[in-house]
Homo-oligomer: A and B are copies of this chain.
């Protein structure tokens, strides 16, 4: 049995305030719930709306479809909803490349970037405190299970960069073409906000300003931050082969 208070708790977790207060977040869909379990993220509660699925998850609770719909953030709920404990961030390591985001605000962009980190084996993602919350349902929808495999830390980005000894690369429209760079084995890559790029105060800590060359007609359009991140992480990884 799921009580009214439990439903209220799950619904409240759509808001960051309550996610922080309870240390919990919600994912939906059998595949993502399974991946989080498989990668050791600790479940608080799993609910399903189909008796045939109740045994697929240890300790899952069976609820009616209308109850699951009440708990869900989706227009068409997928039938499996998991509430998980927000993992403790591990200590950051800079023995490999680290990605840092300065005020990325779009949930879809953050979701895509987490998935890219997973693909390219970037274990450490540092987000400025004003970057969109990674446990936002729209972010989780775009990351799929990747969130379980990337160590994500929210912190004061300026402090973090102040205290690092590795080279700090930043993407700027007017940076040096990335193709001509000698890319080191470790470093930090900073990507900026969708509209404003890297902020002036963060830019002071950048040691190498890089850019992705433009081949079309020169226009004022820039690349979207998620596609630019895709290209730059690929450049970093290909350079070591």
A residues whose Cβ falls under 8 Å from a Cβ of B: 35, 108, 112, 115-122, 144-146, 149, 179, 212-217, 219, 221, 223-224, 226-228, 230-231, 234-235, 237-238, 241
Contact = CB atoms under 8 A, between A and B. Distances in A.
A237 B228 CA distance: 15
A211 to B, nearest CB: 12
A228 B179 CA distance: 18
B227 A213 contact: no
Contact of A145 (B219, B234, B238): B219
Contacts of A116: 223, 227
10 contacts: A118-B219, A119-B215, A119-B221, A144-B221, A145-B221, A149-B216, A212-B234, A213-B237, A213-B238, A230-B231
Given A230-B231, A234-B234, A216 B112 contact: no
A179 B240 CA distance: 11
A217 B149 contact: yes
A234 B237 contact: no
Contacts of A121: 214-217
Contacts of A235: 234
Q: Which 10 A-B pairs have the closest CB atoms?
A: A121-B215, A121-B216, A227-B230, A231-B234, A230-B230, A120-B215, A118-B216, A215-B237, A179-B238, A230-B231
Contacts of A216: 117-122, 149
Contacts of A118: 216-217, 219, 221
A179 to B, nearest CB: 5
| Residue among A108, A119, A149, A235 with the highest chain B CB neighbour number at 10 A | A119
A146 B112 CA distance: 22
Nearest to A240: B215
A228 to B, nearest CB: 8
A175 B144 CA distance: 23
Contacts of A221: 115, 118-119, 144-146
